[in-house]
Amino acid sequence: MNRSPSRRDFLRNSSLAGFGIATAASSRAFGFQNANDRPRVAVVGCGSRWDQRATGLKSSYGLGKDFPKFADIVAVCDVDSDRTERAAVLVKDWLGTAPDQSTDYRSIIDRDDIDIVHIVTPDHWHAKVLIEAMLSGKDAYCEKPMTLTIEEGQLVDKVCKQTNQIVQVGTQQRSMRQILTAIALIQAGRLGKLTRATCAIGGGPTSPALPIATPPKNFDWDRWLGPAPKTDFRLLAGAPNEVKAWSRTHYDFRWWYEYSGGKLTDWGAHHADIATWGLGKTETGPVTVDPIMVKHPVEFKDGYPVEADRYNTPTAFNIKSTFADGVELVLRHDTDNGILFEGTEGRIFVNRGRLTGAPADALKTNPLPDGALDEVYKGKALTSHLENFFQCVADRSEPISDVFSHHRALSTCHLSGIAARLGRKLKWDPEKQAVIDDDQANALVNRQKRKGYEIELS
C-alpha cells in the first residue's frame, strides 16, 4: 500500500512539548507545523454519540464537535444516508469544508490520506472496523464497549500489539478528576486491602411486541446487521423517548443481545472498567461469575431468547464475579449509579458527580502527594479524554483508556451476560480466557459472524 511517509511520519514522531488546546485555526499549539499537518479523521457511524443533530434531533450532544479542535474531519460514513448528509453539513459548519460521504466504511478505511478513524457504530460492528483500521495503519478512537464478544477482544489485543497503533476506548470516566482521585486513594492504601467493588449501572428497559416493518429507503438494514444474524426489521411508533419509536436499530440496538449486552455492557463498560482498575485486576479476570439474580423481559432457552419481537437484555440483575484472591466485583441494577469500593480500612463511592466516604473526606487534612493524579494518568497532566488521545497520537504513548485493560474489564461484563443468558454460575480461566467445563458457555465467548462479515487478520 502506498503511504504518505513524510506527513504520517511527522504525525507519529511529533513531540507535544508545549501542547495546548488546538483549534481549527491554530494547530501550532498542538505540535504540528501548520494546518496541513493536522491529523485527518474519518468518522464511521454518525449516530447520537457522534452528534445528536446528525440523527435529526436538535440537541448538540456528542463528541463529534470536539474533534475539530485537534484534527480535520475529511470523511463521514453511515448506513443511514440521511445521517451521513446531516453529518456532512455539521462538519462544513465546523471546519468550512464539507467531508466526503459514504454509506460503506470500506471505501474510506484504506484511504492513504486518513490518519484516524472515529468508530461510532453499534457495538456489533466495533471490533471489525477497529481491526481493519489498525491493519490499514490508522489510529482510532473507538466508542465503548469495544467489542461484542470476548474473542473479539482477544483479536483486538493481538492486532494492536502487532501494529502498534494508538487506540483510545471511549470510557471517558478515566479522564474525570473524581475518578482519578478515587484510584489514587486506593493506590495510596487509604482504603486498606480492597475486598469488593460494586457497580450500580441501572436496569434495562422493556418494549412491547414490535411488528415487522419495511426499512426506510435511506437505511441499508442488511448492511447495518453486518456480522449479526439476518433478521426482520422491526419498528413501532409511540415510544416515550426522543425518537418516539421502539426498534431493533439505531439507539435501541443496546437492548438486543444480538448487537450489544444491555446495561451490562452499555454502562458496565464504564463502571466495571473503573472497578477493575481500582481493584488492580487489569491484567487478569475473575475465576467465577455467579448470576445471583437476573430478570429478562423474554424467556430464554439454551442461552437464546425464544421471542424475536421485543427487547431481550436484562431489566434487573445482581451478578457477582470473584477473583482468585477472593476479591469481588458486583454488577447490579439497583442503588445509586456509581462504583462503591470497599476495603479493610474504609470505603468510598464515586460517580460522575461526586466522590464520598471517609477516605475522601480526609483529603481536606491529608491530601494526596503532589503529582499523584498525574501518576495515575500515566504520567500526563489530566485533560479531556479526547485531548489525551491526540496527545498520544502525537507522542505514540499509550492512552489512558487502552485496549488491553478495557478488554479485561469488558470480559467480566461479557461473562456476566453469558451467565445471565444461561442462568448458571460459570468457572473462568483468566489465563486461557475460556469457560471451564461448559461448551455451551464457550460458544457464546465467540459468536459466529454472518458470511461475508468475518474478521480477517490480513
Cα 317 from Cα 219, distance rounded (Å): 34
| Domain final residue pick, 174, 205, 239 | 174
**Banded pLDDT at 303 (limits 50, 70, 90):** very high
**Banded pLDDT at 36 (limits 50, 70, 90):** low
Q: What is the DSSP letter of 84?
A: H
How many CB atoms are located within 10 Å of the residue 431 CB? 8
Q: Are 19 and 156 part of one and the same domain?
A: yes
| pLDDT tens-place string over residues 90-109 | 999 999 999 999 999 999 99
| pLDDT tens-place string over residues 342-399 | 999 999 999 999 999 999 999 999 999 999 999 999 999 999 999 999 999 999 999 9
Query: Using H for helix, E for strand and C for coil, what is the string for 210-243?
Result: CCECCCCCCECHHHHHCCCCCCCCEEEECCCCCC
Residue 312's nearest CA partner among 241, 235, 207, 234 is 207
| Helix H or strand E encompassing 391 | helix 385-395
Q: Are 70 and 149 part of one and the same domain?
A: yes
Q: Are 212 and 278 part of one and the same domain?
A: yes
Cα 161 from Cα 135, distance rounded (Å): 11
Q: Has residue 455 got a pLDDT over 80?
A: yes
Name the pairing type of β-strands 245-247 and 40-44. Answer: unpaired
Q: Are 154 and 210 part of one and the same domain?
A: no
Cβ burial, residue 251 (10 Å; 0-12/13-18/19+): middle
Cβ burial, residue 290 (10 Å; 0-12/13-18/19+): middle
Q: Are 90 and 36 part of one and the same domain?
A: yes
pLDDT of residue 74: 98
User: At residue 267, what is the residue type?
Assistant: W
| Domain final residue pick, 107, 142, 174 | 174
CATH code of residue 146: 3.40.50.720
**Banded pLDDT at 187 (limits 50, 70, 90):** very high
Q: Has residue 302 got a pLDDT over 70?
A: yes
Q: Are 23 and 64 part of one and the same domain?
A: yes
Q: Are 9 and 154 part of one and the same domain?
A: yes
Which range marks the domain in which residue 17 is found?
5-174
395 assigned to some structural domain: no
Q: Are 150 and 221 part of one and the same domain?
A: no
| Domain final residue pick, 159, 174, 189 | 174
Domain tally, the chain: 2
Q: Contact at 8 Å (CB) between 388 and 195?
A: no
Cα 4 from Cα 302, distance rounded (Å): 51
Q: Are 201 and 169 part of one and the same domain?
A: no
Q: Are 17 and 162 part of one and the same domain?
A: yes
| Helix H or strand E encompassing 77 | strand 72-77
Q: Where do runs of H (alpha helix) occur along 136-198? A: 150-163, 177-187
Sequence-distant (6+) residues with CB within 8 A of 188 are 368, 369, 372
Q: Contact at 8 Å (CB) between 166 and 393?
A: yes
With vertex at residue 11, the alpha carbon angle to CA 10 and CA 12, rounded to the nearest 5 degrees, is 90
| pLDDT tens-place string over residues 124-136 | 999 999 999 999 9
CATH code of residue 272: 3.30.360
Cα 332 from Cα 46, distance rounded (Å): 31
Q: Are 252 and 307 part of one and the same domain?
A: yes
Q: Contact at 8 Å (CB) between 264 and 331?
A: yes
Cα dihedral 401, 403, 409, 414, rounded to 10, equals: 130
Q: Are 253 and 307 part of one and the same domain?
A: yes
**Banded pLDDT at 110 (limits 50, 70, 90):** confident
351 assigned to some structural domain: no
95 assigned to some structural domain: yes
Q: Has residue 273 got a pLDDT over 60?
A: yes
**Banded pLDDT at 35 (limits 50, 70, 90):** low
